[in-house]
Amino acid sequence: MGLIFYNVPNLVDAYDPAAASVLLTQGLTFNASGKTLATEILGKVKVQRISTTTFDLTDAYRGMVLIFTHASGCVITVQKELNIGSSFICMSDTAGTVSFVAESGGTLRNADAQYALFGRYAAASLLVIANAANVAAEVVIMGRTA
């Protein structure tokens, strides 16, 4: 009796330099009453490489994995109009510094008060936890920071 999971998030490693979609699938069988649910597609994770030295993080990138590649690094401006619950994953693929700043009116939070990725291949998740009147996003940065 209980839940049996199979094919639990099967992540396909495929992306191109511009953008790509990665398909996640999950199968679910419920045995308590002998009922079975079919395999479901949970969604697509989009991966995008960013090759500029500055970048405005907006809700247009919500749910995406952003990989920063410019040799000099990148300054990511976290916009103040982000919706509560928006999340992003940012990763460094450069020897340069990838750092975060809040647009005027917004607030960044981090347990160690660190607002840059630790180095090449470091990653962090960003989560919007509040936004007063949709002009004061409060964003928590979680991950490998420096």
Four-way CATH pick for 51-146: 2.40.30, 3.90.228, 3.90.550, 2.60.120:
2.60.120
Tell me the three state secondary structure of residue 7: coil
Instruction: Write out the two tokens for 85.
Output: 């619950």
Using DSSP, state whether 60 is helix, strand or coil: helix
State pLDDT tens for residues 17-61: 333 444 444 444 444 444 433 334 445 678 999 999 999 999 999
Residues carrying CATH 2.60.120, the chain = 51-146
The span from the first CA to the last CA of the chain, in angstroms, equals 47
Euclidean distance between CA atoms 74 and 103, whole angstroms? 15
**Digit-coded pLDDT (tens) for 5-14:** 343 333 333 3
140 in Cβ contact with 110 (< 8 Å)? yes
pLDDT in tens, 77-87: 999 999 999 99
